[in-house]
Structure 1
Amino acid sequence: MNLNYSHLLPQDFDASSRVWIYQSNRMFSIPEALEIEEMLNEFVSGWNTHGKANKGYANLLFGQFIVLIADETAGNVSGCSTDSSVRVMKEIEKRFSVNLFDRQLLAFVVKDKLQLLPLPQFAYAASNGFITADTLYFNNTVTTLDALKNNWLVAVKNSWLAARLPKATV
């Protein structure tokens, strides 16, 4: 699995640009991904705050993560603008029968594949060696472009999940 993604992110956005990550509960098919890409491009091209265009970016990464970025050095994103982005995500959920808002569903790279694991099953997976301190984890809690580039895909031991690892594995 090719885990390089930083070249897909906008290079002309400020490092403090706001980031939202929506993880799907399943991989999108290629036709679905193409349709989602069109929806995201259409949304970003018309995304505005009080009539002023937002400097935005959206992309589907690894076939399962919708990443939305707003460079607020060009103008702040208002609550109404954020609400409009959530409406698009809800539309994607409905159209493709997916869940983009389940924050209890964690994503890892296991045996070179993206694997999802419900948070309540993390302790069992870690205790039985399915997840280790070095397993790569998609930390969807990142909120800036800099964090997305440097702290989105991290070893479990370097994430908030480290405290949930069995003591023997840390």
Structure 2
Amino acid sequence: MFVDYSTLPEDAKVWVYPSSRKFYPTEIEEIEQKVKTFVENWKADDENFKASYQFLHNRFIIFVADVSETTITNADIDASVSFILELQETYKVELLDKMNACFKQGEFVQYKELKDFKKLVKNKAVTGKTIIFDNLINNKEDLENFWEISIENSWYNRFL
């Protein structure tokens, strides 16, 4: 069942899908509608399942699901990945590569392959204070508190 994001508990499961590019203004409404429709129908036969999504910075699609009263099966995960693969194909973006670095430069979000990100660190184009998105987070509490953090406070600090 689709619910308002704010009603989900702090330990709700989170999946972050970073886009390799910012979505165009002409795409955003359509993508949000597709994501909402998917979440509304995801595990529709399970009345205990509560899920929502966030669409942030016109670049990140985030699924959030309360798994306290139900379980997420491999089939459920497969359904979500299939949906994400469809979005990738339709909009010609990469959404499943979580090992690329997403970080802020001013008000803009950058997406770089890890090898290019390492070069930026080496050349001091990004510093320990640069805000990075940790797309490997697992729950709503981490999304709200540890998703956008400085490089020096993230696992990316090994590249400093």
Does the alignment reach a TM-score above 0.5?
yes
Secondary structure in structure 1 of the residue aligned to 2:8:
coil
**Aligned pairs, how many?**
156
Corresponding residue number in structure 1 for 2:123? 128
Secondary structure in structure 2 of the residue aligned to 1:66:
strand
| CA deviations over 1:75-95 (Å, ceiling 9, x no partner) | 122111111111110110111
Corresponding residue number in structure 1 for 2:11? 16
Distance, in Å, in 1 between the alignment partners of 2:124 and 2:139 is: 32
TM-score (norm 1): 0.86
Taking the TM superposition and a 5 Å limit, the aligned residue runs for 1:84-123 are: 84-123=79-118
Q: Which amino acid aligns with 1:52?
A: D
Taking the TM superposition and a 5 Å limit, the aligned residue runs for 1:1-170 are: 10-48=5-43, 51-53=45-47, 54-165=49-160
Distance, in Å, in 2 between the alignment partners of 1:27 and 1:103 is: 16
Distance, in Å, in 1 between the alignment partners of 2:71 and 2:99 is: 29
Determine if contact 2:17/2:98 at 8 Å carries over to the other structure: no
Determine if contact 1:37/1:59 at 8 Å carries over to the other structure: no
Secondary structure in structure 1 of the residue aligned to 2:68:
helix
Structure 1 runs of 4+ with >6 Å offset: none
Secondary structure in structure 1 of the residue aligned to 2:132:
strand
Distance, in Å, in 1 between the alignment partners of 2:116 and 2:26 is: 32
User: What displacement does 1:114 show?
Assistant: 0.9
Distance, in Å, in 1 between the alignment partners of 2:74 and 2:99 is: 24
In structure 1, the gaps of 5 or more residues are: 1-8, 166-170
User: What displacement does 1:149 show?
Assistant: 0.4
Corresponding residue number in structure 2 for 1:3? none
TM-score (norm 2): 0.92
User: What displacement does 1:123 show?
Assistant: 2.6
Q: Which amino acid aligns with 1:43?
A: F
Q: Which amino acid aligns with 1:84?
A: A
| CA deviations over 1:101-143 (Å, ceiling 9, x no partner) | 1223211111221112210122321122111000000100101
Distance, in Å, in 2 between the alignment partners of 1:101 and 1:10 is: 22
Determine if contact 1:40/1:59 at 8 Å carries over to the other structure: no
Distance, in Å, in 1 between the alignment partners of 2:114 and 2:139 is: 24
